[in-house]
């Protein structure tokens, strides 16, 4: 048996013109060179009728290849039925195979790869990991050097495993979940691939290896979920190597006259992994012949999108957009790429703060996605055997994030719910549930703002033309609309659920946040960012429900995190801790524990005590506020909020003079950025202090605010 790679002597046509099928040596050539599955199926079928081989093993191999090619030709085939037939054929092959052990292993690897690829194309990344992990883990642990003719198929199995691990790691702060699947770490898999004796002529494997190194580097995140600078630099280095392999080796391998790149069904990944056909000689036909030029385009498109991602991380949005456009140029005939292209544009716009442009691009991406009703009937492979995955869940997820940025909260809710409904992967991510809850809170904030503009705070009692009393319609301390308890609609995303969310969004938010807190704490790791954000959000919701005791417990848990920070506390964490103090102060005040409320908010009423809390709450520094108008307004709002809350606490404690002083100070901060009197927390705090003192001035102030 030959251990070297077979090479064709004639050049492959890559200009799009079809060769005469008679000039091709076999169905393998038709499949690998032209990507013509129909012609390949006819060639195998003709071969089966003419030769009528008596060897059961060869018959089974032929039947196996016909099954794969027939599946690619018929979009109505069900992936479950294909997997079942593949299992049956594998059983027959193992029973009838009297070939040498090396050929039997080759057949086994081909079967493992194809079965895993069907799972991956169907969107089941976890089952893909289970299918490929056994082969890769066994070889790595036993430190067995594979035979030369096994290297190409084993490399593709490893690449498919890496693709699945990257898919499950996406959007998780703690990165890869390899331990959950008892799988080698991606770095270890890449290290093993580096040790393989890859033929110099095997440019596709070299290209994919460097590309996956770059993608794995970018998947490494620090404790806060941010990219690590050293890994980003390493990814740039790997991408540079990949582009050199592409230009000087890969294009020559596919034919020097091949046009430039593009077209894929994956924004960054390699969708050029495709079905492997099995042969009686054990040769790996995946690498023996030059593949279709469409696969070269997909290799290049993957590299361009990865490069665009790196430019995005550098803040070079313009160059990233150009790279995305280059990746789209050669994909005119590939309609499945339109959605990915618009999605990538939207991500670039969104990360650059242009949320409305991002939403516009996302709307075009959604129009290009597959209709849920048609998913079962649409193919999951292209004609050349490459994966054609449904990217709708990713696009829905990104659309929800863009909608949150643009404060389109109901749209964000609907998109994220649709995303988790269609994808188990997103459904298992706590951050997706947190975004749903944030959308609900955003809807509530809009309803509450409308309520404050239209609903009167009080009604005056007038006798003989003079005001003599006040009838309060809502609490001065709680200028929020009343939250009513009702039965929660069971089916999330249904029409009834949407109507309930429009009417009473915090009911759904409370349920979602309770789930998020549980799911953010697994047996092996805790997503602290999600946990703290969910606890704060739930505390806000519980305050609206007037469940002050439970809200206080949650704020205490958040404040306890201050001592667990491994290093200097950043602005974002300071803002979270300041928010927790504000919520705790409000909860304590409503539990008639005014003294404790004062202690949580500020040790005294001096600016030296109140200022730091306001700065942390605003999430800006004093220097930023001095030079940036937006930061200045944000800080003024925070100063007014802190003083209003402290004023209410001092008034409840009985220190009316301090309460009035703080309320007037808060009003001065509000006047600095033009808060309307009927929406003023400072004036509400002053009214509360005056009423506690029993002054008739409160009556005049309240009537003047009407």
28 is a domain residue: yes
Residue 635 DSSP label: H
* 221 φ/ψ angles, rounded to the nearest 5 degrees: -120, 155
Which residues are bridge partners to 221 per DSSP? 227
Instruction: Select from 329, 309, 328 the least CA-distant residue to 320.
Output: 309
| CB environment 81-98: b (16+ within 10 A), e (fewer) | ebbebbeebbebbeeebe
> In the block, which residue shows the tokens 């909260």?
409
Among 234, 228, 193, residue whose Cα is nearest residue 214: 234
d(CA 34, CA 28) in angstroms, rounded, equals: 10
Question: What pLDDT does residue 265 have?
Answer: 32
Give me the DSSP letters along 32-90.
Answer: III--HHHHHHHHHHHHHHH----HHHHHHHHHHHHHHHHHH-TT--HHHHHHHHHHHH
Q: Nearest 5 degrees, angle CA 207-CA 209-CA 214?
A: 100
Nearest CA-CA partner of 379 in 370, 615, 527: 370
Q: What is the pLDDT of residue 506?
A: 94
Strands 466-472 and 458-463: antiparallel
Long-range contacts of 60-68 (CB under 8 A, 24+ apart): 60/89, 60/92, 60/93, 60/96, 61/93, 61/107, 61/278, 61/279, 61/280, 63/89, 64/89, 64/93, 64/278, 65/27, 65/277, 65/278, 66/41, 68/114, 68/275, 68/277
Distance (Å, rounded) from C-alpha 471 to C-alpha 456?
11
User: Is residue 90 a part of any domain in this protein?
Assistant: yes
What is the distance between the alpha carbons of residues 396 and 401, in angstroms, rounded to a whole number?
A: 9
Of 70, 98, 126, which closes a domain? 98
Low-confidence spans in the chain with pLDDT less than 50:
1-25, 256-272, 280-291, 459-462, 471-478
Distance between CA atoms of 361 and 355, rounded to whole angstroms?
10
Q: Are 584 and 552 in contact (CB under 8 A)?
A: yes
**How many residues comprise the chain?**
706
The Cα–Cα gap between 205 and 199 comes to 9
Residue 70 domain-assigned (yes or no): yes
Q: Which of 497, 498, 478 lies closest to 489 in space, CA to CA?
A: 497
pTM score > 0.95 for this model?
no
Residue 171, CA distances (Å) to 167, 221, 311, 395, 430 in order? 9, 10, 19, 14, 10
* Last-in-domain residue among 545, 575, 601: 545
Residues with Cβ within 8 Å of 364's Cβ and at least 6 positions away in sequence, in order, are: 338, 342
Q: How many domains does the chain have?
A: 2
pLDDT of residue 674: 62
pLDDT (tens digit per residue) in 519-553: 888 755 667 888 999 999 999 999 999 999 999 99
Taking the C-alpha atoms of residue 702 and residue 700, their distance in angstroms, rounded to an integer, is: 5
Residue 201 within any structural domain of the chain: no
Contact, 598 vs 646, CB < 8 A?
A: yes
Helices (H), 455-570: 495-503, 505-519, 528-544, 548-560
Give the residue numbers spanning the domain of 507: 429-458+470-545
**276 is a domain residue:** no
How distant, in Å, are the alpha carbons of 15, 596, 654 from that of 587? 72, 10, 18
Helix (H, G, I), strand (E, B) or coil at 157: helix
CA distance 405 to 353: 8
Q: Flag whether 491 is in a domain.
A: yes
Q: Let me know: does 497 contact 699? Beta carbons within 8 Å.
A: no
Picking from 98, 125, 151, the residue at the C-terminal end of a domain is 98
CB atoms closer than 10 angstroms to residue 315? 11
Q: Give the whole-angstrom CA distance, residue 382 versus residue 119.
A: 15
Encoded tokens for 120: 């991956």
The tokens for 618 are: 């605003």
Does any domain span residue 262?
no
Q: How far is CA 19 from the centre of its chain?
A: 43
Nearest to 280 by CA among 96, 87, 517: 96
Q: Any alpha helices (H) in 246-271, and if so which ranges?
A: 251-254
| Nearest Cα to Cα of residue 410 among 439, 382, 451 | 439
């Amino acid at each position: 048996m030959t251990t070297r790679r077979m090479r064709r002597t004639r050049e492959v046509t890559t200009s799009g013109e079809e060769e005469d099928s008679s000039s091709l040596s076999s169905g393998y050539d038709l499949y690998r060179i032209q990507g013509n599955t129909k012609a390949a199926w006819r060639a195998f079928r003709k071969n089966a009728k003419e030769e009528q081989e008596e060897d059961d093993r060869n018959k089974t191999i032929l039947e196996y290849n016909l099954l794969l090619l027939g599946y690619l030709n018929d979009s109505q085939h069900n992936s479950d039925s294909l997997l079942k037939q593949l299992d049956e054929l594998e059983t027959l092959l193992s029973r009838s195979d009297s070939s040498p052990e090396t050929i039997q292993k080759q057949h086994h690897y081909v079967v493992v790869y194809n079965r895993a690829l069907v799972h991956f194309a169907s969107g089941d990344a976890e089952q893909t990991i289970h299918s490929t992990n056994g082969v890769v883990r066994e070889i790595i642990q036993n430190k067995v050097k594979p035979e030369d003719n096994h290297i190409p198929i084993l490399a593709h199995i490893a690449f498919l495993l890496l693709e699945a691990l990257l898919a499950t790691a996406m959007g998780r702060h703690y990165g890869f979940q390899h331990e959950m699947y008892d799988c080698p770490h991606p770095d270890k898999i890449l290290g093993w691939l580096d040790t393989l004796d890859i033929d110099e002529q095997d440019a596709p494997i070299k290209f994919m290896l460097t590309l996956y190194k770059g993608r794995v580097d970018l998947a490494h995140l620090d404790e806060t979920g941010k990219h690590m600078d050293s890994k980003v630099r390493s990814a740039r280095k790997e991408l540079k190597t990949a582009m050199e392999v592409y230009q000087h080796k890969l294009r020559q391998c596919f034919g020097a006259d091949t046009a430039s790149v593009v077209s894929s069904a994956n924004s960054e990944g390699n969708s050029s992994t495709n079905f492997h056909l099995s042969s009686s000689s054990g040769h790996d036909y995946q690498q023996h012949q030059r593949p279709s030029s469409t696969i070269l385009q997909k290799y290049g498109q993957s590299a361009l999108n990865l490069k665009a991602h790196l430019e995005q991380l550098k803040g070079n949005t313009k160059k990233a957009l150009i790279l995305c456009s280059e990746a789209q140029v050669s994909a005119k005939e590939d309609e499945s790429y339109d959605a990915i292209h618009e999605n990538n544009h939207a991500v670039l716009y969104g990360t650059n703060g242009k949320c409305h442009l991002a939403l516009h691009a996302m709307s075009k991406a959604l129009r290009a996605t597959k209709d849920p009703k048609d998913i079962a009937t649409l193919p999951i492979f292209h004609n050349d055997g490459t994966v054609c995955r449904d990217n709708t869940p990713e696009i829905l997820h990104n659309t929800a994030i863009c909608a949150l940025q643009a404060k389109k909260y109901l749209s964000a809710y609907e998109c994220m719910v649709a995303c988790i409904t269609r994808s188990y992967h997103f459904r298992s991510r706590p951050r997706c549930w947190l975004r749903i809850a944030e959308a609900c809170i955003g809807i509530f904030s809009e309803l509450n703002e409308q309520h404050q503009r239209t609903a009167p705070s009080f009604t005056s009692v007038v006798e003989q033309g003079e005001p003599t009393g006040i009838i309060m319609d809502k609490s001065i301390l709680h200028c929020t609309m009343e939250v009513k308890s009702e039965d929660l609609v069971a089916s999330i995303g249904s029409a009834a659920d949407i109507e309930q969310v429009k009417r009473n969004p915090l009911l759904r938010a409370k349920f979602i946040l309770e789930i998020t807190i549980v799911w953010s704490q697994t047996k092996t790791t805790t997503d602290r960012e999600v946990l703290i954000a969910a606890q704060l959000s739930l505390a806000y919701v519980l305050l609206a429900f007037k469940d002050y005791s439970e809200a206080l417990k949650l704020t205490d848990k958040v404040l306890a995190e201050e001592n667990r920070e491994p290093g200097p506390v950043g602005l974002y964490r300071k803002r979270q801790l300041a928010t927790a103090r504000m919520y705790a102060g409000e909860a304590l005040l409503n539990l008639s524990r005014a003294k404790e409320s004062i202690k949580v908010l500020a040790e005294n009423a001096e600016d030296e005590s109140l200022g730091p809390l306001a700065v942390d709450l605003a999430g800006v520094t004093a220097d930023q506020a001095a030079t940036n108008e937006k930061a200045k307004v944000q800080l003024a709002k925070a100063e007014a909020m802190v003083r209003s809350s402290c004023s209410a606490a001092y008034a409840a404690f009985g220190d009316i003079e301090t309460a009035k002083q703080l309320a007037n100070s808060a009003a001065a901060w509000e006047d600095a950025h033009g808060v309307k009197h009927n929406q003023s927390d400072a004036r509400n705090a002053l009214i509360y202090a005056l009423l506690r003192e029993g002054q008739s001035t409160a009556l005049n102030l309240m009537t003047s605010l009407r």
